[in-house]
Amino acid sequence: MNTKRSEELFARAQQRIPGGVNSPVRAFRSVGGTPRFLRRGSGCRITDADGNTYVDYICSWGPLILGHAFPPVAEAVREALENGSSFGAPTEREVELAERICAAVPSVEMVRLVNSGTEATMSALRLARGFTGRTLTVKFEGCYHGHVDSLLVKAGSGVATLGISGTAGVPEEFARTTIALPYNSVEALEAAFQRHGGEIAAVIVEPVVGNMGCVLPQPGFLEAMRELCTRHGALLIFDEVMTGFRLSLGGAQQIYGIRPDLTTLGKIIGGGLPIAAYGGRADVMRHVAPSGGVYQAGTLSGNPCAVAAGIAMLKHLAEHSGVYERAAAAAEAVCAAAPAGVTVQRAGSMFTFFFTDRSVNSWEDAATCDTQRYAAFFHHLLENGVYFPPSQFEAAFVSAAHDDAAVEQTVAAIRSFRS
Ligand SMILES: *Cc1c(COP(=O)(O)O)cnc(C)c1O
Protein backbone atom coordinates (compact mmCIF):
# COMPACT_ATOMS: atom_id res chain seq x y z
CA MET A 1 0.00 0.00 0.00
CA ASN A 2 1.44 3.33 -1.08
CA THR A 3 1.34 5.92 1.75
CA LYS A 4 3.86 8.41 0.39
CA ARG A 5 1.52 11.40 0.33
CA SER A 6 0.28 10.75 3.89
CA GLU A 7 3.90 10.50 5.05
CA GLU A 8 4.74 13.85 3.43
CA LEU A 9 1.68 15.51 4.90
CA PHE A 10 2.38 14.07 8.36
CA ALA A 11 5.94 15.44 8.24
CA ARG A 12 4.59 18.87 7.30
CA ALA A 13 1.84 18.69 9.91
CA GLN A 14 4.29 17.88 12.70
CA GLN A 15 6.12 21.15 12.00
CA ARG A 16 3.05 23.25 12.70
CA ILE A 17 0.51 21.19 14.66
CA PRO A 18 1.43 19.47 17.97
CA GLY A 19 1.96 15.81 17.12
CA GLY A 20 0.72 16.56 13.63
CA VAL A 21 -2.94 16.16 14.59
CA ASN A 22 -5.80 18.18 16.03
CA SER A 23 -6.95 15.42 18.41
CA PRO A 24 -4.52 12.92 19.96
CA VAL A 25 -5.83 9.45 18.99
CA ARG A 26 -5.63 10.38 15.29
CA ALA A 27 -1.83 10.22 15.48
CA PHE A 28 -1.55 6.38 15.62
CA ARG A 29 0.79 6.76 18.63
CA SER A 30 -0.24 3.51 20.32
CA VAL A 31 -0.24 1.41 17.14
CA GLY A 32 2.69 3.07 15.34
CA GLY A 33 2.95 3.99 11.68
CA THR A 34 1.77 6.95 9.69
CA PRO A 35 -1.76 8.25 10.15
CA ARG A 36 -3.67 8.31 6.90
CA PHE A 37 -4.61 11.78 5.72
CA LEU A 38 -8.14 11.46 4.44
CA ARG A 39 -9.46 13.13 1.36
CA ARG A 40 -13.04 11.99 1.00
CA GLY A 41 -15.74 9.74 2.40
CA SER A 42 -18.84 8.23 0.86
CA GLY A 43 -21.16 5.80 2.60
CA CYS A 44 -19.02 3.39 4.63
CA ARG A 45 -15.83 4.03 2.65
CA ILE A 46 -13.06 6.59 3.01
CA THR A 47 -10.22 7.44 0.65
CA ASP A 48 -6.82 8.76 1.72
CA ALA A 49 -4.44 11.23 0.11
CA ASP A 50 -2.67 8.42 -1.78
CA GLY A 51 -5.92 7.11 -3.22
CA ASN A 52 -6.24 4.06 -0.92
CA THR A 53 -9.79 3.19 0.04
CA TYR A 54 -10.88 1.68 3.35
CA VAL A 55 -14.07 0.41 4.94
CA ASP A 56 -14.45 2.85 7.84
CA TYR A 57 -15.17 1.63 11.38
CA ILE A 58 -14.54 5.00 13.00
CA CYS A 59 -17.25 6.99 11.26
CA SER A 60 -15.83 10.19 12.76
CA TRP A 61 -15.85 8.43 16.19
CA GLY A 62 -19.59 7.99 16.17
CA PRO A 63 -21.49 10.78 14.43
CA LEU A 64 -21.89 9.13 11.03
CA ILE A 65 -24.49 6.45 11.75
CA LEU A 66 -25.82 7.02 8.22
CA GLY A 67 -22.37 6.96 6.63
CA HIS A 68 -20.24 9.66 5.01
CA ALA A 69 -21.78 12.43 2.89
CA PHE A 70 -25.30 11.14 3.51
CA PRO A 71 -27.23 13.00 0.77
CA PRO A 72 -30.11 14.49 2.87
CA VAL A 73 -27.59 15.84 5.41
CA ALA A 74 -25.28 17.22 2.71
CA GLU A 75 -28.24 18.85 0.96
CA ALA A 76 -29.52 20.43 4.20
CA VAL A 77 -26.10 21.92 4.94
CA ARG A 78 -25.73 23.28 1.42
CA GLU A 79 -29.12 24.93 1.63
CA ALA A 80 -28.41 26.43 5.08
CA LEU A 81 -25.02 27.76 4.00
CA GLU A 82 -26.54 29.64 1.10
CA ASN A 83 -28.83 31.47 3.51
CA GLY A 84 -26.12 32.66 5.87
CA SER A 85 -23.79 30.53 7.97
CA SER A 86 -24.18 32.30 11.32
CA PHE A 87 -26.33 35.01 12.88
CA GLY A 88 -25.74 35.05 16.62
CA ALA A 89 -29.51 35.44 16.92
CA PRO A 90 -32.26 32.84 17.32
CA THR A 91 -33.56 30.84 14.34
CA GLU A 92 -36.65 28.71 13.78
CA ARG A 93 -34.56 25.60 13.12
CA GLU A 94 -32.96 25.72 16.58
CA VAL A 95 -36.44 25.38 18.03
CA GLU A 96 -37.16 22.45 15.73
CA LEU A 97 -33.94 20.67 16.69
CA ALA A 98 -34.64 21.23 20.40
CA GLU A 99 -38.16 19.83 19.94
CA ARG A 100 -36.85 16.79 18.07
CA ILE A 101 -34.32 16.05 20.82
CA CYS A 102 -36.95 16.39 23.56
CA ALA A 103 -39.37 14.17 21.64
CA ALA A 104 -36.78 11.42 21.23
CA VAL A 105 -34.86 11.35 24.53
CA PRO A 106 -37.18 10.33 27.39
CA SER A 107 -35.72 12.45 30.23
CA VAL A 108 -34.98 15.61 28.25
CA GLU A 109 -37.63 18.29 28.79
CA MET A 110 -35.48 21.30 27.88
CA VAL A 111 -32.18 21.49 26.04
CA ARG A 112 -29.37 23.97 25.36
CA LEU A 113 -27.29 23.63 22.17
CA VAL A 114 -23.50 23.97 22.36
CA ASN A 115 -20.61 23.20 20.00
CA SER A 116 -18.86 20.11 21.35
CA GLY A 117 -19.36 17.24 23.74
CA THR A 118 -16.73 18.76 26.00
CA GLU A 119 -18.75 21.94 26.24
CA ALA A 120 -21.88 19.93 26.99
CA THR A 121 -20.36 17.99 29.91
CA MET A 122 -18.59 21.07 31.26
CA SER A 123 -21.86 23.01 31.22
CA ALA A 124 -23.92 20.17 32.68
CA LEU A 125 -21.45 19.90 35.53
CA ARG A 126 -21.56 23.63 36.21
CA LEU A 127 -25.35 23.47 36.16
CA ALA A 128 -25.39 20.55 38.60
CA ARG A 129 -23.14 22.49 40.95
CA GLY A 130 -25.20 25.64 40.61
CA PHE A 131 -28.43 23.75 41.20
CA THR A 132 -27.27 21.73 44.20
CA GLY A 133 -24.86 24.25 45.71
CA ARG A 134 -22.35 21.39 46.03
CA THR A 135 -18.86 20.85 44.63
CA LEU A 136 -17.90 17.19 44.23
CA THR A 137 -18.39 15.03 41.14
CA VAL A 138 -18.32 11.27 40.92
CA LYS A 139 -17.03 9.76 37.68
CA PHE A 140 -15.88 6.29 36.68
CA GLU A 141 -12.40 5.14 35.68
CA GLY A 142 -12.08 4.68 31.92
CA CYS A 143 -15.07 6.88 31.11
CA TYR A 144 -14.28 9.90 28.97
CA HIS A 145 -16.35 13.05 29.21
CA GLY A 146 -14.37 15.39 26.99
CA HIS A 147 -11.32 17.35 28.09
CA VAL A 148 -12.99 19.24 30.93
CA ASP A 149 -10.31 19.91 33.60
CA SER A 150 -11.87 18.05 36.48
CA LEU A 151 -13.14 15.18 34.30
CA LEU A 152 -9.73 14.21 32.91
CA VAL A 153 -9.04 12.32 36.14
CA LYS A 154 -8.66 8.59 35.25
CA ALA A 155 -10.21 9.26 31.86
CA GLY A 156 -10.59 6.89 28.93
CA SER A 157 -10.13 7.53 25.19
CA GLY A 158 -6.85 9.27 24.28
CA VAL A 159 -5.91 9.79 27.92
CA ALA A 160 -5.96 6.01 28.42
CA THR A 161 -4.43 5.29 25.01
CA LEU A 162 -1.41 7.50 25.65
CA GLY A 163 -1.12 6.39 29.27
CA ILE A 164 -0.85 9.97 30.51
CA SER A 165 -1.98 11.05 33.95
CA GLY A 166 -4.73 13.24 32.54
CA THR A 167 -4.02 15.95 35.05
CA ALA A 168 -0.96 17.81 33.73
CA GLY A 169 -2.15 21.40 33.59
CA VAL A 170 -5.14 20.69 35.81
CA PRO A 171 -4.85 22.44 39.19
CA GLU A 172 -4.85 19.94 42.03
CA GLU A 173 -7.77 21.82 43.55
CA PHE A 174 -9.84 20.94 40.46
CA ALA A 175 -8.74 17.32 40.37
CA ARG A 176 -9.66 17.01 44.05
CA THR A 177 -13.28 17.85 43.22
CA THR A 178 -13.53 14.54 41.34
CA ILE A 179 -14.03 11.14 42.91
CA ALA A 180 -13.11 8.42 40.38
CA LEU A 181 -14.60 4.99 41.04
CA PRO A 182 -14.41 1.63 39.26
CA TYR A 183 -17.14 1.23 36.63
CA ASN A 184 -19.77 -1.35 37.53
CA SER A 185 -18.98 -1.25 41.25
CA VAL A 186 -22.13 -0.54 43.26
CA GLU A 187 -20.17 -1.05 46.48
CA ALA A 188 -17.68 1.70 45.60
CA LEU A 189 -20.53 4.05 44.75
CA GLU A 190 -22.33 3.29 48.02
CA ALA A 191 -19.13 3.89 49.97
CA ALA A 192 -18.52 7.24 48.22
CA PHE A 193 -22.02 8.42 49.06
CA GLN A 194 -21.63 7.21 52.62
CA ARG A 195 -18.50 9.29 53.04
CA HIS A 196 -19.37 12.38 50.95
CA GLY A 197 -23.14 12.18 50.40
CA GLY A 198 -23.95 15.78 51.27
CA GLU A 199 -21.15 17.19 49.08
CA ILE A 200 -21.74 15.34 45.82
CA ALA A 201 -23.30 17.58 43.16
CA ALA A 202 -23.44 14.98 40.42
CA VAL A 203 -22.59 11.50 39.27
CA ILE A 204 -21.58 11.51 35.60
CA VAL A 205 -21.41 8.27 33.65
CA GLU A 206 -21.32 6.80 30.17
CA PRO A 207 -24.35 4.52 30.62
CA VAL A 208 -22.77 2.21 28.06
CA VAL A 209 -19.06 2.97 27.83
CA GLY A 210 -17.39 3.50 24.48
CA ASN A 211 -14.27 5.27 25.61
CA MET A 212 -12.32 2.38 27.14
CA GLY A 213 -13.66 0.21 24.38
CA CYS A 214 -17.24 -1.02 24.56
CA VAL A 215 -18.20 -1.90 28.15
CA LEU A 216 -21.76 -2.62 29.23
CA PRO A 217 -23.34 -1.78 32.57
CA GLN A 218 -23.91 -4.88 34.69
CA PRO A 219 -27.50 -5.51 35.80
CA GLY A 220 -28.35 -3.24 38.72
CA PHE A 221 -25.45 -0.81 38.30
CA LEU A 222 -27.38 2.05 36.67
CA GLU A 223 -30.43 1.35 38.85
CA ALA A 224 -28.34 1.63 42.03
CA MET A 225 -26.76 4.82 40.72
CA ARG A 226 -30.19 6.34 40.11
CA GLU A 227 -31.40 5.34 43.56
CA LEU A 228 -28.32 6.65 45.38
CA CYS A 229 -28.39 9.99 43.56
CA THR A 230 -32.06 10.50 44.41
CA ARG A 231 -31.55 9.50 48.04
CA HIS A 232 -28.60 11.87 48.52
CA GLY A 233 -29.83 14.81 46.46
CA ALA A 234 -27.14 14.51 43.75
CA LEU A 235 -27.97 14.89 40.07
CA LEU A 236 -27.43 11.93 37.77
CA ILE A 237 -25.84 12.95 34.47
CA PHE A 238 -25.90 10.44 31.63
CA ASP A 239 -23.16 11.34 29.20
CA GLU A 240 -24.81 10.10 26.01
CA VAL A 241 -22.55 12.05 23.64
CA MET A 242 -21.66 8.68 22.11
CA THR A 243 -24.71 6.53 22.88
CA GLY A 244 -27.39 9.16 22.19
CA PHE A 245 -29.25 8.33 18.95
CA ARG A 246 -26.71 5.49 18.49
CA LEU A 247 -28.05 2.66 20.67
CA SER A 248 -31.62 3.76 19.94
CA LEU A 249 -33.46 6.98 19.16
CA GLY A 250 -33.76 7.59 22.92
CA GLY A 251 -30.21 6.45 23.65
CA ALA A 252 -29.07 4.16 26.46
CA GLN A 253 -31.59 5.64 28.90
CA GLN A 254 -34.42 4.36 26.74
CA ILE A 255 -32.92 0.88 26.51
CA TYR A 256 -32.19 0.57 30.23
CA GLY A 257 -35.30 2.45 31.38
CA ILE A 258 -33.40 4.88 33.62
CA ARG A 259 -34.31 8.56 33.86
CA PRO A 260 -31.22 10.71 34.50
CA ASP A 261 -31.64 14.31 35.68
CA LEU A 262 -29.38 15.66 32.94
CA THR A 263 -28.16 14.21 29.66
CA THR A 264 -25.32 15.31 27.41
CA LEU A 265 -25.52 14.70 23.68
CA GLY A 266 -23.18 15.32 20.75
CA LYS A 267 -21.78 13.35 17.83
CA ILE A 268 -24.88 12.02 16.01
CA ILE A 269 -27.03 15.10 16.74
CA GLY A 270 -24.75 17.15 14.49
CA GLY A 271 -24.74 14.73 11.58
CA GLY A 272 -20.97 15.25 11.28
CA LEU A 273 -20.98 18.99 11.96
CA PRO A 274 -19.91 20.50 15.28
CA ILE A 275 -22.90 20.56 17.59
CA ALA A 276 -23.71 19.11 21.01
CA ALA A 277 -26.30 19.67 23.71
CA TYR A 278 -27.14 19.28 27.36
CA GLY A 279 -30.66 18.95 28.65
CA GLY A 280 -32.94 17.29 31.14
CA ARG A 281 -35.37 18.20 33.89
CA ALA A 282 -37.05 21.53 33.15
CA ASP A 283 -36.77 22.67 36.78
CA VAL A 284 -33.00 22.15 36.58
CA MET A 285 -32.53 23.57 33.06
CA ARG A 286 -34.34 26.79 34.05
CA HIS A 287 -31.28 27.56 36.19
CA VAL A 288 -29.31 28.22 32.98
CA ALA A 289 -28.85 31.90 31.96
CA PRO A 290 -30.75 33.95 30.97
CA SER A 291 -33.64 32.26 32.81
CA GLY A 292 -31.36 31.40 35.74
CA GLY A 293 -28.05 32.26 37.32
CA VAL A 294 -25.77 29.57 35.85
CA TYR A 295 -23.92 31.29 33.01
CA GLN A 296 -23.24 29.53 29.72
CA ALA A 297 -23.02 31.05 26.24
CA GLY A 298 -21.60 30.56 22.74
CA THR A 299 -20.94 32.73 19.67
CA LEU A 300 -21.61 29.85 17.27
CA SER A 301 -24.06 27.89 19.44
CA GLY A 302 -27.03 26.71 17.39
CA ASN A 303 -25.07 27.37 14.21
CA PRO A 304 -27.49 27.24 11.24
CA CYS A 305 -25.44 24.78 9.16
CA ALA A 306 -24.88 22.42 12.09
CA VAL A 307 -28.52 22.67 13.14
CA ALA A 308 -29.67 21.92 9.59
CA ALA A 309 -27.43 18.85 9.51
CA GLY A 310 -28.74 17.75 12.91
CA ILE A 311 -32.35 18.08 11.88
CA ALA A 312 -31.80 16.14 8.66
CA MET A 313 -30.08 13.42 10.67
CA LEU A 314 -32.64 13.13 13.48
CA LYS A 315 -35.54 13.33 11.03
CA HIS A 316 -34.14 10.41 9.04
CA LEU A 317 -33.52 8.37 12.19
CA ALA A 318 -37.02 9.07 13.55
CA GLU A 319 -38.58 7.96 10.27
CA HIS A 320 -36.33 4.95 9.58
CA SER A 321 -36.05 2.76 12.66
CA GLY A 322 -34.56 0.07 10.40
CA VAL A 323 -31.28 2.01 10.50
CA TYR A 324 -30.58 0.61 13.97
CA GLU A 325 -31.25 -3.00 13.02
CA ARG A 326 -29.25 -2.71 9.82
CA ALA A 327 -26.19 -1.21 11.52
CA ALA A 328 -26.40 -3.67 14.43
CA ALA A 329 -26.70 -6.65 12.04
CA ALA A 330 -23.58 -5.54 10.16
CA ALA A 331 -21.75 -5.11 13.49
CA GLU A 332 -22.86 -8.56 14.61
CA ALA A 333 -21.56 -10.15 11.39
CA VAL A 334 -18.17 -8.48 11.85
CA CYS A 335 -18.01 -9.50 15.52
CA ALA A 336 -18.75 -13.13 14.63
CA ALA A 337 -15.43 -13.23 12.75
CA ALA A 338 -13.31 -12.21 15.76
CA PRO A 339 -10.03 -14.09 16.21
CA ALA A 340 -9.72 -16.74 18.93
CA GLY A 341 -8.65 -15.51 22.35
CA VAL A 342 -10.34 -12.15 21.85
CA THR A 343 -13.22 -10.90 23.99
CA VAL A 344 -15.86 -9.28 21.80
CA GLN A 345 -18.20 -6.78 23.41
CA ARG A 346 -20.97 -5.08 21.46
CA ALA A 347 -23.88 -2.75 22.10
CA GLY A 348 -25.93 -2.39 18.92
CA SER A 349 -23.70 -0.85 16.28
CA MET A 350 -20.68 -0.18 18.50
CA PHE A 351 -18.22 -2.87 19.52
CA THR A 352 -14.67 -3.65 20.62
CA PHE A 353 -12.36 -6.60 20.11
CA PHE A 354 -10.53 -6.70 23.45
CA PHE A 355 -7.26 -8.61 23.16
CA THR A 356 -7.70 -10.27 26.54
CA ASP A 357 -9.34 -13.50 27.65
CA ARG A 358 -11.41 -11.94 30.39
CA SER A 359 -14.70 -10.17 30.05
CA VAL A 360 -14.23 -6.43 30.38
CA ASN A 361 -16.42 -4.75 32.99
CA SER A 362 -14.10 -2.01 34.20
CA TRP A 363 -10.90 -0.17 33.39
CA GLU A 364 -8.97 -2.72 35.48
CA ASP A 365 -10.16 -5.43 33.07
CA ALA A 366 -9.49 -3.32 29.97
CA ALA A 367 -5.95 -2.62 31.15
CA THR A 368 -5.11 -6.35 30.87
CA CYS A 369 -5.35 -6.18 27.06
CA ASP A 370 -2.37 -7.04 24.89
CA THR A 371 -2.09 -3.68 23.13
CA GLN A 372 0.85 -4.85 20.97
CA ARG A 373 -1.23 -7.65 19.53
CA TYR A 374 -4.04 -5.17 18.97
CA ALA A 375 -1.58 -2.95 17.08
CA ALA A 376 -0.59 -5.87 14.84
CA PHE A 377 -4.26 -6.63 14.22
CA PHE A 378 -5.00 -2.98 13.45
CA HIS A 379 -2.20 -2.80 10.86
CA HIS A 380 -3.21 -6.09 9.29
CA LEU A 381 -6.72 -4.74 8.78
CA LEU A 382 -5.47 -1.39 7.52
CA GLU A 383 -3.28 -3.11 4.91
CA ASN A 384 -6.38 -4.99 3.80
CA GLY A 385 -8.46 -1.84 3.43
CA VAL A 386 -10.29 -1.95 6.75
CA TYR A 387 -9.94 1.05 9.06
CA PHE A 388 -10.45 0.06 12.73
CA PRO A 389 -9.78 2.43 15.67
CA PRO A 390 -6.03 3.02 16.11
CA SER A 391 -6.33 2.20 19.82
CA GLN A 392 -7.43 -0.79 21.87
CA PHE A 393 -9.38 1.55 24.12
CA GLU A 394 -11.91 2.89 21.63
CA ALA A 395 -15.12 1.48 20.24
CA ALA A 396 -15.58 0.69 16.55
CA PHE A 397 -18.65 2.18 14.90
CA VAL A 398 -20.82 0.69 12.19
CA SER A 399 -23.23 2.71 10.07
CA ALA A 400 -26.38 1.78 8.19
CA ALA A 401 -24.28 2.30 5.05
CA HIS A 402 -22.07 -0.73 5.82
CA ASP A 403 -23.24 -2.98 2.99
CA ASP A 404 -22.73 -6.70 2.44
CA ALA A 405 -19.60 -6.17 0.33
CA ALA A 406 -18.03 -4.06 3.09
CA VAL A 407 -18.87 -6.63 5.76
CA GLU A 408 -17.52 -9.48 3.60
CA GLN A 409 -14.27 -7.60 2.97
CA THR A 410 -13.96 -6.97 6.72
CA VAL A 411 -14.65 -10.57 7.68
CA ALA A 412 -12.09 -11.82 5.15
CA ALA A 413 -9.49 -9.36 6.46
CA ILE A 414 -10.12 -10.43 10.07
CA ARG A 415 -9.97 -14.14 9.22
CA SER A 416 -6.60 -13.77 7.50
CA PHE A 417 -5.00 -12.28 10.65
CA ARG A 418 -2.20 -14.47 12.03
CA SER A 419 -0.84 -13.14 15.28
C1 LIG B 1 -16.78 12.19 22.30
C2 LIG B 1 -17.25 12.25 23.71
C3 LIG B 1 -17.19 13.42 24.47
C4 LIG B 1 -16.49 14.66 23.99
O5 LIG B 1 -17.09 15.22 22.86
P6 LIG B 1 -16.22 16.23 21.96
O7 LIG B 1 -17.19 16.69 20.94
O8 LIG B 1 -15.08 15.42 21.42
O9 LIG B 1 -15.74 17.31 22.85
C10 LIG B 1 -17.75 13.43 25.72
N11 LIG B 1 -18.36 12.32 26.21
C12 LIG B 1 -18.42 11.18 25.52
C13 LIG B 1 -19.10 10.01 26.12
C14 LIG B 1 -17.86 11.10 24.26
O15 LIG B 1 -17.90 9.94 23.60
* 60 ligand 1 Cβ < 6 A: no
Closest residue by Cα to atom 15, ligand 1, is: 242
Ligand 1 atom closest to Cα of residue 146: 4
* 260 ligand 1 Cβ < 6 A: no
Give catalytic status of residue 239 as yes or no: yes
CATH topology of domain 71-319: Aspartate Aminotransferase; domain 2 (3.40.640)
Q: How high is the pLDDT of residue 168?
A: 87
* Cα distance between residue 112 and residue 346, in whole Å: 30
* CA 155 to ligand 1 centroid distance, Å: 12
Tell me, rounded to whole angstroms, the distance of Cα 161 from its chain centroid: 15
Q: How high is the pLDDT of residue 158?
A: 81
Q: Write down the domain spans for the chain.
A: 4-69+325-415, 71-319
- Catalytic residue among 56, 183, 256, 267, which? 267
First-residue to last-residue Cα distance in the chain: 20
Among 26, 137, 144, which is best to mutate for testing ligand 1, by the most ligand atoms less than 8 A from CB? Answer: 144
Ligand 1 atom closest to Cα of residue 121: 10
Position 157 pLDDT exceeds 90: no
Mean pLDDT value of segment 25-49: 97
Closest residue by Cα to atom 6, ligand 1, is: 117
* 326 ligand 1 Cβ < 6 A: no
* 117 ligand 1 Cβ < 6 A: yes
Position 153 pLDDT exceeds 90: no
* CA 396 to ligand 1 centroid distance, Å: 15
* CA 299 to ligand 1 centroid distance, Å: 20
Mean pLDDT value of segment 321-331: 97
Give the C-alpha distances (Å, rounded to integers) separating 54 from 42, 172, 406: 11, 43, 9
Ligand 1 atom closest to Cα of residue 211: 15
* pTM (two decimals): 0.97
User: pLDDT tens digits, residue range 188-232?
Assistant: 999 999 999 999 999 999 999 999 999 999 999 999 999 999 999
* 206 ligand 1 Cβ < 6 A: yes
Mean pLDDT value of segment 397-419: 96
* Cα distance between residue 271 and residue 274, in whole Å: 8
Question: How much is the mean pLDDT over the chain?
Answer: 97
Mean pLDDT value of segment 95-108: 98
Mean pLDDT value of segment 235-259: 98
* CA 276 to ligand 1 centroid distance, Å: 9
Question: How does residue 370 score in pLDDT terms, banded at 50, 70 and 90?
Answer: very high
Task: Please give the torsion angle defined by the CA atoms of residues 282, 120, 139 and 170, in that order, rounded to the nearest 10 degrees.
Answer: -140
Q: Which CATH number fits domain 4-69+325-415: 1.10.10.60, 3.40.50.10380, 3.90.1150.10, 3.40.50.1110?
A: 3.90.1150.10
Angle at 47 between CA 58 and CA 144, to 5 degrees: 20
* CA 242 to ligand 1 centroid distance, Å: 7
Give catalytic status of residue 370 as yes or no: no
Residue by residue, DSSP assigns 83-100 as: T-S--SS--HHHHHHHHH
